[in-house]
Structure formats: C-alpha cells, structure tokens
Structure 1
Amino acid sequence: MEFFFGVLYETPIEKLKMIPDIVREVIGEIEICQVDRVHFYKIGDYSFNFDVVYYVLDPDYSKYMEVQQQINFALKERFEKENIVFAYPTQTVYLNNNNNEVTKSYVINNKVL
C-alpha cells in the first residue's frame, strides 16, 4: 500500500529527518505489516511531502483498512509528541493599497485571515 502526507514548511530540518524513522517504527510495530520505503520525496506547493509504501501480509481488505487506520492514529499521536504538524492548504496573498503599501494576508480554507 502507498500513501502520501505532507508537513508544514515551518518544520525544522531536525524534525524532517526524524519523520522516516517515526513512520518505520509505527508501521514496524504492526505484526502483519512490512515497510518497503519511506522518503521525503517532494517540496510541494504548501508542504514537505513524504511517500510511504508498506505491505499488509494478509489479503483481507478489512484488515488492511484497520491497519491503515491504526497507522494514521499512531502517526498523529507521534507527530503531536514531536511537535510535527501535518500540512493543510494555505495561500499567502499580498495586497497593494492606494498608498503603494503592501499588506500580507493568509488564506486558509478559503477564508482571508
């Protein structure tokens, strides 16, 4: 199985380097799973992106879904402990008013902050 996730640009390099090991540990703790690879593979539009591939050593789809849920919960828990934040879509908008002053706004979930 393959899945992707991103973390915020503000994530320090020390934390980025920890992420592959955290993911390997989380998946490695699940008896019917085998990790193939975990990589920081892309600098995305609003996040540093990771690619994860693992195998569920049981063909039962329900077990796969249970495993994926277990991985998601465990990653969320571990990331919270390490102050690593999953990315969410954001935009920075620079506005120029009549006085030629540039202001900066953030757009999150289609709302200007």
Structure 2
Amino acid sequence: MKESIKIVDYIPFGKENAISRQQLERVTGLSDRDVREAISLARRNTVILNLSNGKGYFQPIQGEEDDLVVKYFKQEDSRLKRIGWSLLATRRRVKEIQNESSV
C-alpha cells in the first residue's frame, strides 16, 4: 500500500457526499484490497460509515448524522455477535486440537 496515502483525506463528510470504493481506487491509485485495508486501519481513529444503501463511504457530520453513527454501530455490533456465535463449534474443536497436541 502506498504509505503516503491518508485515506480519510479522500472520504467526504456527509452521507450525501458518500464515495464508492471504486472511486477511492481511482482517486488514490490504490487497489481495492489496499483501499479496504486503509479504511479498516483508519476506522481505528476516525468514524467512517458505509450504509447498506451501497452509495459508499463517508464521515458523518457531527450533530447532524449522529443517528447514522448509532445505526451503523448497532449493525456492526450485531454482525460481530453473529460471527462469534457461528464460530462456537469451531472454537471448541480448536481447543480440543490444542489439548490433544499438548499431550
């Protein structure tokens, strides 16, 4: 990934100004994979939303789009829980494997 690219500089404020990943690829010169990785890393310090409407990524306008932040959080938190539960049997088996190999 190009180290000089700061992805948040390319992600606009406001859902009406959302930018697609394809557009981010064009303006940054990054591959799709690198754009996704850059967004993932940037989200550690910056709120970046992409709603299920497919319009793209944006930084919410504080005080105006707080409802979207809450909605996005609930959506992703629910996804996180579903993934955790879907790994339950696999998690158990991994523990068994690890216990077997330590004997």
After TM superposition, the score normalised by the length of structure 2 is 0.30
Structure richer in helix, relative to its length: 2
Structure richer in strand, relative to its length: 1
After TM superposition, the score normalised by the length of structure 1 is 0.27
